[in-house]
Amino acid sequence: MSTFQAPKGTYDLLPPNSATYLAVREAISAPLKNSGYGYVETPGFEAVELFARGVGESTDIVTKEMYAFETKGGDKLALRPEGTASVLRAALEANLHKAGNLPVKLWYSGSYYRYERPQKGRYRHFSQVGAEAIGAEDPALDAELIILADQAYRSLGLRNFRILLNSLGDKECRPVYRAALQEFLRGLDLDEETLRRAEINPLRVLDDKRADVQKQLTGAPSMPDYLCDACTAYHKEVRELLDAAGVVYEDDAKLVRGLDYYTRTTFEFVHDGLGSQSAVGGGGRYDGLSEMIGGPSLPSVGWALGVDRTVLALEAEGVDLELPATTSVFAVPLGEEARRVLFGKVTELRKAGIATDFSYGGKGLKGAMKNANRSGARFTLVAGERDLADGVVQLKDMESGEQGPVALDAVLETLKAKLG
């Protein structure tokens, strides 16, 4: 055992469990790749101010959870707590919005960091796959992203998740609702910190998970009652497009999400098998974020789905993913000449796309076959001096136990046929 351990609230991904995480990332990204979204990768840290402006100074993320630090050169940086602000910053810096083909559609995958109280489903280091459609105000984009996330989860075999949907209005109707909500909150018995938050961004209070706060919110003004005609029509079209696509959702007037930049459409994917950490992903429209970080007006929409939470949801439903075999063939040499010849065959098989491993370290037949079993290999190639003298190797089917000689120059074609 090492002297060192993973930092509190983090985890290591190791085989065989890491294969499930890879499969989840692939399943979430597959519909995006098929719908015009290109891959983007951003640094693991950014200027603190990017998140303070974009995510919101009133959010727990900025006030309590960011890993912020100052470099030797005096730069104030933070490990990224979420992906949208970074992706939008990268798109603006590269002038992707000036290429004339809007929206710019991007997807990403990576690790994010928040200093939170560690518990199951909530870590200080977590993995997400996200998607952003930048530069277009269109209900069809909002619907598209919700549909693609729904498609990704269903392709994994998940069924017991729900989609919560709301509209947060825009710069026309949101201030009216904000004022009404602030007036209501001032009359409640709230602690100083919550009252301070209510003055900065009262919608954040609606997202407060404490039972004593939620109890007092009964009768609070509801955002749908304050939507202007344009936002009402926009939200109606999003819902109609989801209905036409057969995507089931639930209206939730209290849904605000945990970030300040959302406008109009906001949504969350929740799974009731995960206890208090029920959100597996979510997102929404953020039409003013580009201006907040110094860019032009670029109405946009996006989401992020948690890989960790999705894996927990699969476990809660008892879904076992069909994972590709890491090793199809395992080669076992008996002697130095066999080692040279079989290593050449291993290289040949790998070039042909056949997952192949080799018995390293000069193990005897018994130890090598144990390794072959552990690898999950479908076939083993075994060769000794007598086999090589006859120009053959022994091919063993690890499922049936059948074994027979195969000519050295026919190994590749024989295995291709047997593996399909």
Give the residue numbers of the binding site.
82-84, 114, 128, 132, 257, 261-262
Which amino acids are annotated as binding site for L-histidine, given as ranges?
A: 82-84, 114, 128, 132, 257, 261-262
* C-alpha torsion 80→85→86→89, nearest 10: -150
User: E strands of 68-119, at which residues?
Assistant: 68-70, 76-79, 104-113
Query: Using CA atoms, how far apart are residues 319 and 324, in angstroms rounded to an integer?
Result: 16
* Type of residue at 116: E
CA 147 from centroid of its chain's CA atoms: 16
Specify the DSSP class assigned to residue 280: E
Report the DSSP pairing between strands 379-383 and 356-358. Answer: unpaired
Determine the straight-line distance between the first and last CA of the chain, rounded to whole angstroms.
42
Pairs from 232-238 (Cβ < 8 Å, separation ≥ 24)? 232/167, 234/139, 234/167, 234/264, 234/265, 235/139, 235/167, 235/264, 235/265, 237/139, 237/140, 238/139, 238/142, 238/143, 238/146, 238/165, 238/265
Burial label, 242 (beta-carbon count in 10 A; 0-12, 13-18, 19+) = buried
CA 196 from centroid of its chain's CA atoms: 33
Q: Measure Cα distances from 349 to 155, 329, 345, 367 in Å.
A: 31, 9, 6, 23
